[in-house]
């Protein structure tokens, strides 16, 4: 009786087992794109936080420098802006992400009630992707502090008033271009246009703060 199964004519050379189909180039690109998009969200948030710390602290220091030429007053103002801004960013991010966490946990509970099969596996995967409020708050505060340190370091060791102001503007300008380039690269936007927009925005913030503070200080208010 003949067998319906395929027989190997030569036992010395076993039949090759079909290997699983390798991933195509498109599949690899899609996986890499997904991972990149998840990382880029955190990186862009960090760049924006650092840019916020840079511009706000530099503007505060320029505003105080418009009416007080003392280096101590300028440094203390910048340090106070760093601490206050980092705390504000951390608390705001913590509250925002914690609210998002509550919403996602409530959605998971609703999904558990709807489906009885595969609940444990789905729940564990969802919990792995849940946002972490503490991590988000720490990252936001750290990014703000990194940006705020640029004008502080630029002004810390220069006694001469005009040179100190010029050093702060120069250091902040370089940092603005770098942050604008990073934001554009992560968002896949035109680099030159994005960097110029961030640079002009930072200059405008410092100029407005300097000018208004100088005007109010000259009137003796």
pTM score above 0.85: no
Phi-psi region of 188 (alpha: psi -120 to 50; beta: other; left: phi over 0): left
Question: In this structure, what token pair is assigned to residue 2?
Answer: 């003949």
Q: What is the pLDDT of residues 149-176, one digit of tens each?
A: 999 999 998 999 999 999 999 999 999 9
Q: What is the pLDDT of residues 65-104, one digit of tens each?
A: 999 889 999 999 999 999 999 999 999 989 988 898 888 8
Which burial class, exposed, middle or buried, applies to 22 when counting CB atoms under 10 A from its CB (0-12, 13-18, 19+)? exposed
Instruction: Tell me the C-alpha distance between 102 and 127, whole Å.
Output: 12
């Amino acid at each position: 009786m003949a067998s319906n199964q395929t027989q190997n004519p030569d036992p010395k050379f076993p039949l090759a087992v079909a290997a699983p189909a390798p991933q195509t180039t498109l599949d690899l690109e899609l996986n890499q794109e997904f991972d990149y998009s998840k990382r880029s969200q955190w990186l862009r948030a960090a760049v924006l936080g650092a840019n916020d710390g840079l511009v706000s602290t530099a503007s505060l220091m320029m505003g105080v420098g418009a009416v007080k030429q003392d280096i101590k007053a300028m440094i203390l103002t910048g340090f106070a802006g760093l601490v206050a801004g980092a705390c504000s960013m951390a608390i705001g991010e913590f509250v925002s992400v914690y609210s998002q966490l509550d919403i996602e946990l409530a959605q998971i509970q609703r999904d558990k009630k709807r489906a009885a099969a595969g609940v444990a596996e789905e729940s564990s995967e969802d919990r792995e992707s849940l946002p972490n409020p503490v991590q988000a708050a720490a990252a936001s505060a750290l990014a703000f502090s990194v940006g705020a340190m640029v004008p502080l370091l630029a002004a810390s060791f220069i006694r001469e008033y005009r040179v100190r102001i010029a050093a702060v503007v120069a250091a902040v300008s370089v940092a603005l271009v770098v942050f604008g380039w990073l934001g554009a690269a992560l968002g896949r936007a035109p680099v030159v246009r994005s960097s110029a927009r961030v640079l002009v925005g930072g200059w405008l913030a410092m100029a407005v703060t300097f000018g208004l503070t100088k005007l109010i200080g000259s009137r003796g208010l």
